[in-house]
Chains A and B, each alone.
Chain A
Amino acid sequence: MNQPVSNAGVRPVNPGMAGLFWAVMKRDLMLAFRRRSDLLNPLIFFLMVASLFPLGISPEPTFLEQIAPGVVWVGALLATLLSMDSLFRSDFDDGTLEQTLLSPQPLFLVVLAKVLAHWAMTGLPLTLMAPLLGVMLFLPSEGMTGLMLSLLLGTPTLSLVGAIGAALTVGLRKGGVLISLLVLPLYIPVLIFGAGAVQAAVTGLPLGGYLSLLGAMLALGVALAPLAIAAALRISVSG
């Protein structure tokens, strides 16, 4: 008779979970450091986007001050999007992605570690660079904390959501444009609340509400996005 698969018993906690997480992160960070141009790309893009606005529209401080929150956030969003495509691409090309999918380790953790490493290489530097752009765009100094905090909470969500798109399109030869179409609509709530938080900080309104919403989106992303990414990777490799 068929014995039902039972999970009722105590499942031994794998002592290597943290080790696995760290090993995957370490590998991805190492890969990123050995390809430094990939590391600099989003940062330079971010800087360029933000510096084009004063040139293209108006260098007037009062005007720039108004658009600064939105410009910095849009720049960070586009820079993240730009870097998303490469997240699984090289793993897919050299077969390490297949090996990852066939390993007995939980894919959820592996994927989460990869996204975290990606964030540490893009979202975190973008966040650290944002005040510089804020100053460039005459963002009032009261807005700086709001800018940093909102980016710190928002960019990991951007990485997580973007990774879903990257996972879905990794099997396609030209996934670059498709990724933007898939992911951009999902980025919009993060953008609205992120830029809103900076706006609120500038005008002296409380930030709590915006930051809580960004945090909630991040929590939802951490819990659910790795599942979607793992499923998407299986589909992409299967094709």
Chain B
Amino acid sequence: MSEPLLEVKQLYCERDDRVLFDNLNFSLNAGEVLQIEGANGSGKTTLLRILSGLTGNYEGDIFWRGELRSHARESFNRSLLYFGHQPGVKAILTPLENLQWYAAMHPSIDAERIMPALEKVELRGYEDVPCHTLSAGQNRRVSLARLYLSDAPLWILDEPFTAIDKQGVSQKEQLIQHHADQGGAVILTTHHELSLGERLRRINLNQPGET
């Protein structure tokens, strides 16, 4: 039986007296990549924050593996990798210390994998430098290194490619592809054209309804 990983039913969200989305329904299966599209201010980030569980200001139901998410909070959090607007990198810590802290917060992560992950995002040699001396793109890379560390099946990525160079973007695209091939699922927003073939589905918040 293939049960969708994440299922959203009749999601409604209003912000500052403006309806962002109404009656939003979709489900996400393992192996799928879901791209949320929409103009600036259409509620992409809000949707991702709702899906990740950061925001509770919504109506409707979100199911995680068939169970109401509010009942499966711990298993959901264990399975989630969230990459937000703020990369979650402490400026006065080094990349290594940042990832060590992340590993401590996620017991499934093996600290041995931190150095290889830093190598993958081309930050080898910078691991002991405070993050505030790194460039914006490098700071994002520190956060993106988590993609190589984590075993979480569900990735929620908010604009993961901002400030990342071309080569880095294609590398991340391959990584997303690989993650989906392995049975993971990805929800992301980006203004990049993704070349992920049939795995990719799109939801446009400006034109609600099924896509």
- Which residues on A are within 8 Å of B, measured CB to CB? 5, 14, 16, 19-20, 23-24, 27, 30-31, 34-35, 90, 93-96, 98-105, 110, 234, 237-238
Contact = CB atoms under 8 A, between A and B. Distances in A.
A36 to B, nearest CB: 11
Interface of B: 52-57, 71, 74, 77-78, 80, 82, 84-93, 97, 100-102, 104-107, 130
Contact of B92 (A5, A34, A99, A238): A34
Given A16-B107, A23-B101, A105-B105, A31 B53 contact: no
Contacts of A237: 54-55
Contacts of B106: 103-105
Contacts of A93: 86
Across chains A and B, which 6 residue pairs bring their CB atoms closest together, nearest first?
A95-B86, A23-B104, A103-B105, A95-B88, A104-B77, A104-B78
Contact of A14 (B54, B57, B100, B107): B107
A35 B53 CA distance: 32
Contact of B105 (A20, A34, A35): A20
A16 B90 CA distance: 23
Given A104-B106, A105-B107, A27 B88 contact: no
B86 A98 contact: yes
Contacts of A103: 77, 105-106
A31 B93 contact: yes
Given A103-B105, A238-B55, A98 B82 contact: yes
A88 B52 CA distance: 21
B145 to A, nearest CB: 13
Given A94-B88, A103-B106, A104-B106, A30 B93 contact: yes
Contacts of B100: 23
17 contacts: A5-B71, A19-B104, A23-B101, A23-B105, A30-B97, A34-B92, A35-B92, A95-B84, A95-B86, A96-B89, A96-B101, A98-B82, A99-B88, A102-B54, A103-B106, A104-B74, A105-B107
